[in-house]
Amino acid sequence: MGINSLVDWIENECNAGVIETDIFTYPTKNVKELLAIDKQILNKSIEKFWQVLLEFQPDTIILYGSLTVDVLKKLLKDKDKQVEYFCKNEDGIEDIEKIFPFARFNIDSKNINVLACRHLMYYGRMGNSFEDLRRNIKKALSQDKENER
């Protein structure tokens, strides 16, 4: 429900298209199940996510859940990407959610803003407790539209 509600909100409120994917492209019911999967399979899954980033080169990425933040940090390090972080490493996901952008890196000289938030299972139907995230998404998308001009 959370991811679908957020995607609907972005499409309707911001009039923007969304490509929804996961860092872990291997489907599981929960994190416990995910962490039980063979590491080689998970690494292949993460590599598929990287290929999606290279193909689409989005202006903005929204990560949900602290595990995805950690995995993206490691992925960018493994790919020798220079990343600019706008918060301290010890900040929790609730603090990172308030920052726009939380990080920025580039692919083929294109800047990509990274937003992050708590897991979207907490988003619910209206996302009322995600006001900081929604405000940051609006900032990111309006910045993206400015850059297109």
Mean pLDDT of the chain: 86
Cα–Cα distance measured from residue 17 to residue 109, given in angstroms and rounded to the nearest whole number: 22
What is the CB neighbour count within 10 angstroms for residue 58?
Answer: 17
- Which pair of tokens denotes residue 52? 């999606």
- Which pair of tokens denotes residue 67? 């595990």
Which tens digit of pLDDT belongs to each residue from 97-108?
888 888 999 999
Helices marked H in the chain: 2-13, 31-35, 39-56, 66-78, 93-96, 131-148
Q: What is the DSSP letter of 14?
A: S
Q: What is the DSSP letter of 99?
A: S
Where the chain has pLDDT below 70, the residues are 1, 89-90, 144-149
Which pLDDT belongs to residue 21? 80
Cα–Cα distance measured from residue 21 to residue 65, given in angstroms and rounded to the nearest whole number: 14
- Which pair of tokens denotes residue 69? 């933040």
Which tens digit of pLDDT belongs to each residue from 22-49?
888 888 888 889 889 999 999 999 999 9
